[in-house]
Amino acid sequence: MTVFRVGFIGTGLKPEKPGPMGYGMAHRHVPGYRALDDCELVACADIVEEHAKAFAAAHDIPRVYTDHREMLAKEDLDIVSICTWPDQHAQLVIDCAVAGVQAIHCEKPMADTWAASRLMAQECQRRGVRLTFNHQRRFGLPFRKAKALIDEGAIGELQRIEFGAGDLYDYGSHNFDMANYFNNEVTAEWVIAQIDYRTENLIFGVHNENQAFALWQYRNGVYGMAATGPGARMVGAHHRVIGTEGIIELGPTGPGMPALRIRRYGDSQWENIDCHGETMHGPNYIERAIADVVAALRNGTTSELCAENALNATEIIFACWESARRRARIDLPLLENLGNPLAEMVANQDLKPLPKA
């Protein structure tokens, strides 16, 4: 049996209170690899040596580096998990690809600009490297069961997918990815959006709007709609999927609400779907995601978490911000050299968010 050598870039410290400065995601990747017989955890790298040493001691990893390039040069790694902030993802992914790593599993969001997101995917593709992103909710039972209901025609023909979230970019990357999943990865045709950014909201060093409303249309005619910040309450669910014959809700808001429910047109009540205690967030979703990544490498198949799917979600996010900047609808695909419209509006003082207290 081939045993894959696994390394980590960006260990960080496991925070007592996870939040916008860190979640210690490398620590959460470890159990996924540990559960597999064909993975060996051999090395980790972090620019803060104490962090890397603490990570290695916690997870019985033999070698520690402060320079990821040195680790890549010495360890002959097959798989690397990248768990740094988004602005570092593109360079680290490309360094791994150039070093000959076979599979790279990166935290989301893809990168802090559209151009960097495209570049990292392009460089992995041209080198035959498998690049995946940790949109792990695809493997949650509520989402799987919702997709099965859609596919079997339980709500008729798919018409619209809605979501409410804190933001479009950080957490929103999960929501756009799931919307695309429900619509069979069909790409978007256009996006129109407006945002409000009055108080600085940096998550992992990247600006996120305070509130947004977005509408987009997929190339098969299905619509998407998102509300973030205070407006998320209008949607009232993590996702709502609307068809010609009914509605599915995932994570409806309110005390005691189920993870998944369906209401067919003509029914007087919602039908709750048993998800065996799984919620919008877990448990064990990351472990399942990593199992899928490793299985794809082992079997020569494509993971659901592939860069192509991640790009489909990321394109809509940056198109939303570009729509707000231009005050116009954005027709897709996006220009390859597009940066980060929200960050650029702040830099140009078109938006002047007040410092967060």
- Please tell me whether residues 198 and 298 are part of one structural domain: no
- Is the separation of the CB atoms in 36 and 16 below 8 Å? no
Q: Find, among 329, 340, 341, 309, the residue nearest to 189 by Cα.
A: 329
What residue ranges in 74-138 does DSSP mark as E strands?
Answer: 79-82, 103-106, 130-133
One domain, residues 142 and 65:
no
Both tokens assigned to 111: 């990168």
Task: Please state, in angstroms and rounded to a whole number, the distance separating the CA atoms of residues 96 and 131.
Answer: 10
Q: Are 7 and 45 in contact (CB under 8 A)?
A: yes
* DSSP strand pairing (260-264 vs 246-252): antiparallel
> Chain centroid to CA 122: how far?
18
CATH number for the domain harbouring residue 44: 3.40.50.720
Count of alpha carbons within 13 angstroms of residue 58, beta-carbon side: 18
Verify that 90 and 223 share a domain, yes or no.
Answer: no
∠ Cα 167 173 176 (to 5°): 100
Give the CATH number for residue 186: 3.30.360.10
Same domain? 129 vs 27: yes
- pLDDT score at 336: 84
Q: Are residues 315 and 234 in the same domain?
A: yes
Indicate whether 154 and 201 sit together in one domain.
Answer: yes
* CA 96 – CA 199 distance, rounded (Å): 36
Task: List the structure tokens of 256.
Answer: 């005691």
Q: What is the pLDDT along the chain (357 residues), one digit of tens a residue?
A: 799 999 999 999 877 776 766 778 999 999 999 999 999 999 999 999 999 999 999 999 999 999 999 999 999 999 999 999 999 999 999 999 999 999 999 999 999 999 999 999 999 999 999 999 999 999 999 999 999 999 999 999 999 999 999 999 999 999 999 999 999 999 999 999 999 999 999 999 999 999 999 999 999 999 999 999 999 999 999 999 999 999 999 999 999 999 999 999 999 999 999 999 999 999 999 999 999 999 999 999 999 999 999 999 999 999 999 999 999 999 999 988 899 999 999 999 999 999 987
Tokens found for residue 136 = 């792990």
CB 81 within 8 A of CB 96: no
My answer on whether 35 and 71 are in the same domain is: yes
**pTM score, two decimals?**
0.96
pLDDT at site 14: 79
234 and 260 co-located in one domain? yes
Q: Which tokens in the block code for residue 60?
A: 């019985």
CB 102 within 8 A of CB 297: yes
Query: Which one-letter amino acid corresponds to residue 17?
Result: K
Q: Do 50 and 188 share a domain, yes or no?
A: no
Q: Do residues 276 and 129 share a domain?
A: no
Strand order across the beta sheet in which 39-45 lies: 63-65, 39-45, 4-9, 79-82, 103-106, 130-133
- E-assigned strand segments in 23-157: 39-45, 63-65, 79-82, 103-106, 130-133
Q: CA nearest 303: which of 311, 312, 294?
A: 294
Do residues 201 and 349 share a domain?
Answer: yes
Domain count, the chain: 2
Count, residues in the chain: 357
Domain residues for the domain of 156 are 138-281+305-357
Per the listing, tokens 């009232």 go with: 236
Residues 6+ apart with CB under 8 A from 16: none
Indicate if 104 and 155 belong to the same structural domain. no
3-class SS of residue 264:
strand
* DSSP SS3 for 192: strand
* Angle, CA of 189, 192 and 194, to the nearest 5°: 155
CA distances 134 to 32, 149, 264, 307, 325, Å, are: 12, 24, 33, 10, 29
Q: Which residues contact 293 (CB under 8 A, 6 or more apart)?
A: 79, 103, 105, 130, 132, 303, 305
Neighbours of 67 (CB within 10 A): 11
State the number of CA atoms in the 13 A half-sphere of 148 facing the CB: 11
Q: How many whole angstroms separate alpha carbon 67 and alpha carbon 9?
A: 9
